[in-house]
Amino acid sequence: MTSQLALLGGRPVRKRPFSMWPVFGKAEETRLLRALRSGRWGRLQGAEVERFETRFAAMHGCRHGVAVANGTVSLRLALIAAGLRAEDEVIVPPYTFFSTASAVVEANMIPVFADIELATFNLDPAAVEAAITPRTRAIIPVHFAGQPADMGAIMRIARARKLIVIEDAAHAHGARYKDRPAGSLGHLASFSFQSSKNLTCGEGGIITTNDSRLAGACRSLQNCGRVPGGVWYEHHIISGNYRLGEFQGAVLNAQLDRLEAQTNTRDRNGRFLAARLGLLPGVHPQERPASCTRHSYQLFMLRLDGDAFGAPRPAVIEALRAEGIPCSAGYGFSLPQQPMFRERAFGPYLDRAAARLDYVRVRCPNSDLICREQGIWLEQALFLGRRADMDDIAEAFEKVRGNRAALAAWDRARRPRRRKGAG
């Protein structure tokens, strides 16, 4: 006999909060104070950002790291550093944060959407192939939620077509594909340190690469178009000041010491929860291919097939929240349906190309289905806890499923009644 849903007046599965984010302590305080008291607060004066760049790049299998203001700028600078030109086409997924595509527009290039796979939520290599045109110059696979995209297939396509691959690794700190770190799998990679991310300093980003020439171009773009060894008032290419400050560098150095253990904890907990939830009818956790040797679980994602589960997503989310499990539906629609794309509100960018671009007609059925009906997200901090936390999450899902008939009835009762004869 399943106990009554908390939504309907029963006792919630969980009353205690989950792990908090960000995690910080003495180490962050000490480093921040040291940076403060040094009086060397800028990237070009202090040593924190430089040290962080070297350490982060090495941890991600790269010789070079160029820290920047955020993970949007890092994508934009990577595209420019790779030598792409105005109105070149860049293939991006539709199931990702705005920046993956907005950075392309802000580089005066054209985002072309290729659908994701329903099972993995990651870019579908077959859709990438189909989206290639004579103007395609680059692909931005997103390691969505922290699970590496199918980089073997994507790099094969890129080699055959001479395309640049920029990993959007904003979610993938510490993730591994066939035991190789995310961030070292394409020509360049972009990470974010914005406050929700698995490694954070509030706002920040980094570009990683193993290519010295590309690293040099990124360094120059990050630093007002100056060149290494050049003179202060000598700017060789158009760019701006995209440097990261020393306070952020100090926090990042302390946070980086925690990353390895935190990533292993999230990976262990996420794997456990996926196995358990996968036993429930209608619940499809993000499918994890064997190539994903470490998942960073920036998000834990699943698809809920409401018919098979016995209750629709909005009701299930409300019921889970009432049981004490924070969760959400994630993106409500696919990225090409953003007003910015629908209305081609590109500002001064893509001036000539805009007239021939029509994002209203873009169809990405897998992404659309996940956004509109099926996706459920749980955030990374939940996965920093113990096995008992995972048990609570699983128990809440099981309880909601056990009460599906009552939940579906509650959901039907709250919906506005259709008027008879209404079209």
Residues belonging to the active site? 197
> Which chain residues interact with ligand PLP by CB under 6 A?
70-72, 96-97, 99-100, 142, 168, 170-171, 192, 194, 205
In the bound complex, what is the minimum distance in angstroms from residue 202's beta carbon to ligand PLP? 10
Give 374's Cβ-side CA count (13 Å radius).
Answer: 23
In the bound complex, what is the minimum distance in angstroms from residue 208's beta carbon to ligand PLP? 14
Burial bucket for residue 403 (CB in 10 Å: 0-12, 13-18, 19+): buried
Q: How many CB atoms lie within 10 A of CB 180?
A: 15
* Residue among 142 and 406 whose Cβ is closer to ligand PLP: 142
* Residue among 129 and 203 whose Cβ is closer to ligand PLP: 203
* Residue among 150 and 392 whose Cβ is closer to ligand PLP: 150
In the bound complex, what is the minimum distance in angstroms from residue 100's beta carbon to ligand PLP? 5
Please, are residues 84 and 106 in contact by the beta-carbon 8 Å criterion?
Answer: no
Please, are residues 44 and 243 in contact by the beta-carbon 8 Å criterion?
Answer: yes
Backbone angles phi, psi at 130, to 5 degrees: -65, -25
User: Which residue number has the CB closest to ligand PLP?
Assistant: 71
* Residue among 72 and 380 whose Cβ is closer to ligand PLP: 72
* Residue among 309 and 341 whose Cβ is closer to ligand PLP: 341
Cα separation, 306 vs 324, whole angstroms: 21
The residue count of the chain comes to: 423
Provide the β-strand partners of residue 190.
Answer: 168, 207
In the bound complex, what is the minimum distance in angstroms from residue 116's beta carbon to ligand PLP? 12
In the bound complex, what is the minimum distance in angstroms from residue 74's beta carbon to ligand PLP? 8
Six-digit token string for 316: 């299930």
Tally: H helices and E strands in the chain: 14, 13
In the bound complex, what is the minimum distance in angstroms from residue 40's beta carbon to ligand PLP? 24
Give me the torsion for CA of 408, 409, 414, 420, rounded to 10°: 110
Please, are residues 74 and 321 in contact by the beta-carbon 8 Å criterion?
Answer: no
* Residue among 5 and 105 whose Cβ is closer to ligand PLP: 105
Q: How many CB atoms lie within 10 A of CB 330?
A: 16
Which phi-psi region, left, alpha or beta, contains residue 183 (left: φ > 0; alpha: ψ -120 to 50)? left
In the bound complex, what is the minimum distance in angstroms from residue 330's beta carbon to ligand PLP? 11
* Residue among 46 and 205 whose Cβ is closer to ligand PLP: 205
Span between the terminal Cα atoms of the chain, in Å: 42
Strand boundaries in 210-359, DSSP class E: 283-285, 292-294, 299-304
Per-residue burial over 287-321, b = 16 or more CB atoms within 10 Å of its CB, e = otherwise? bbeebbbbbbbbbbbbbbebeebbbbbebbbbbbb
